[in-house]
Structure 1
């Protein structure tokens, strides 16, 4: 039976200092003074229009992404969070994450963002190599990255994350391992470590850099996994590693097919409507000019049909390393778990999945070949 899952909120702030050549997110280079007051006003109106989706729930997590949200003053972030809390109650243990780039954080503002209500920072370091940072178009250097992490550690946040990439242009195995070691010395409770991929509509797609070959990439990945485990980081998601108790609850809600409102330019949402037996996906107006001029902020709303729900759930849930309760499948999709029996049996035959009376669990092979696993359910 379909049940209401936990509710999160994603907030998109689309501006950054400059567009990175690998980035395909909805981000726009800063051109003059940012309309901070006007944009926060619009975000509050956007939320107002989505309040009927709350259905009596509390917010368990908020994630402010971008772009570069740390371009906004702490006072505006505080006003935004206060306005949200006036409209939707926060859970006692709410996790509120804000993305930040070392090159845009004035170091005295770390405590101000914490006092504004941010409980967790996600800092986009990407690499500690000056050469690699230049190739990636980043505006910070390795010293700024280290200072940002040190400030996050000492400013009262409950947790912080460092974003690292591997498989960078001309990156050697030694450089990739050095990035992990440097990051670990800064004691982040959480690390995101993911491979650079070339996406369409990016500068790297039109002018591809020289990347490590497949054999080198596999060696980096395999040894990096071992190094992170030895340093005390548990892999709980495909590209996320945490010390015990510091997993990102917002992302876990995504991957468990939870609900989330999405406000801001191009923000996506996923909502369960119990009375209508529906699951909806929402998308907001993408461009800042159109968004700021809008009376209604939703660009598109589509229903996830019952036929689509199993694959949609599994595409998300297979990102997590933990076992999958069969009851969770039924509660999040509103369907009996037997509807995917054929796919489960095919995955078991290929040693991609194992099964108990109450759970399914990815095997080591299944965790390595998630796309092949998903193909059993198409």
Structure 2
């Protein structure tokens, strides 16, 4: 097997938000006022964090940069201009590198989009979640539906033609009609990309400890089926379980994740995945994560231990399931040959183990691809359980 390394991306985490949403399990921390943000100190820490990781990127270029949070759009355009300049000076950026910033459509960030575009950000991802004020209130969001529409208009005026809208479904008390109304509002704004995903109750969140009344299972299926049909009719192509695009504006950063690419992670709580040539047929994978609490992270800039909180090699026996959990999220799957190059295992035993899943219609009938069927995308956990059985056998 060739030990060719996969593409390399960079994830940058900004951990602050105005107020933590009750469904959010990300490493985000509410800040009383934007003036309290330690912008200069955090910029210096991010650059130092990247400096420490430079040996991991030696001889490689970045195909994408994704700035997530938290609410990254709380930081100024100057912050990102200086940050991206520092990144480009240390790690080569591909000529067509995708650089994404997550932003909230609240009034606090208004007027900044032009500055973000000038700083080098070429893709904007707006956390809309819903266009209905009642639903937004139930989700703990601080913007309105009108704020979301205004943010899209401002983003376009600022020169963003690669625009994603994050939209949730399965919200408290939501009917199929209300879910489709949200989709209609999104479609009318003609984004190039839609992330349309179901609200889930994650551990260590307010919603998990005090669950809201969510739609019944049958209603959730109706929402998903009707919404998928409407998005297809509007010209959106589904390429991942919850990702839709038109004009081929796929999120390249997320595609790198799903295709088992590598990524550096800098910032409080950021995770990374790096590959190196292994002894067998597969690459050796290492997971790394940074100090999680923002205050502790900032202190580590002056600490000889640095920003790394921990790292762990991915055991060879876990490679099949890790690879499958990503690849099978893609509607088109991946070439079957990628199985061997990413897991170090042959395909014969895998296909024999998956024969039952194929008989159930969960696996696409394609001898050249490792791909879930449309039914398999709906029952992905069952399909992944087959991979787990293969790993244990």
Q: TM-score range by the shorter chain?
A: over 0.9
Moved over 6 A (4+): none
Residues 80-89 or 326-335, more deviating: 326-335
Shifted more, 152-161 versus 300-309: the winner is 152-161
Counterpart contact for 1:153–1:188, Cα < 8 Å: no
Q: Mean Cα displacement is larger for which, 233-242 or 343-352?
A: 343-352
Q: Which of 271, 288, 297 is 1:291 aligned to? A: 297
| In structure 1, C-alpha distance between the alignment counterparts of 2:129 and 2:366, rounded to whole Å | 39
C-alpha displacement at 1:339, in angstroms? 5.1
Q: Which residue of 2 aligns with 1:274?
A: 277
Q: How does 1:125-274 map to 2 (within 5 A)?
A: 125-274=128-277
1:53/1:273 contact within 8 Å kept: no
Correspondence list, 1:40-189, <5 A? 40-103=43-106, 105-189=108-192
Structure 1 CA distance for aligned equivalents of residues 315 and 359 of structure 2? 28
Equivalent pair of 2:327/2:333 in contact (CA under 8 Å): no
Tell me the secondary structure at the aligned position of residue 194 of structure 1. strand
String of CA shifts for 1:13-65, please: whole Å, max 9, x gaps. 00000011111110000134100110011111111111111131110001000
TM-score w.r.t. the length of structure 2 is 0.93
For 2:348 and 2:108, the matched residues in 1 are separated by: 50
In the TM superposition, residue 206 of structure 1 has moved relative to its aligned partner by 1.6
Structure 2, gaps ≥5 residues long: 389-393
Match of 2:324 among 314, 329, 332: 314
**1:197 to partner: Cα distance:** 0.7
Q: Does 1:301 align with 2:311?
A: yes
Structure 1, unpaired ranges of 5+: none
Q: Secondary structure of the residue that 2:320 maps to in structure 1?
A: helix
CA deviation map 1:166-211 (0-9, x unaligned): 1111112211110000011111000011111111111111211111
Tell me the number of residue pairs that the alignment of Structure 1 and Structure 2 aligns.
378
Tell me, yes or no, if the aligned pair for 1:60 and 1:91 is still in contact at 8 Å: yes
Tell me the distance in 1 between the aligned counterparts of 2:74 and 2:187: 26
- CA deviation vs aligned residue, 1:107-146 (integer Å, no higher than 9, x gap): 3211110000100000000001010111111111111100
- Distance across 2 between alignment mates of 1:339 and 1:46: 42
* SS of match in other structure, 2:316: coil
| CA offset digits 1:90-118 (Å, max 9, x no partner) | 00110000000011553321111000010
After TM superposition, the score normalised by the length of structure 1 is: 0.97
Verify the 8 A CA contact 1:12 1:66 in the aligned structure 2: yes
Question: What's the RMSD between the two structures over aligned residues?
Answer: 1.5
Deviates more, 1:161-170 or 1:275-284: 275-284
Alpha-carbon shift at residue 275 of structure 1 (Å): 6.2
Aligned partners of 1:59 and 1:94 also within 8 Å: yes
Distance in 1 (alpha carbons) for counterparts of 2:298 and 2:287:
22
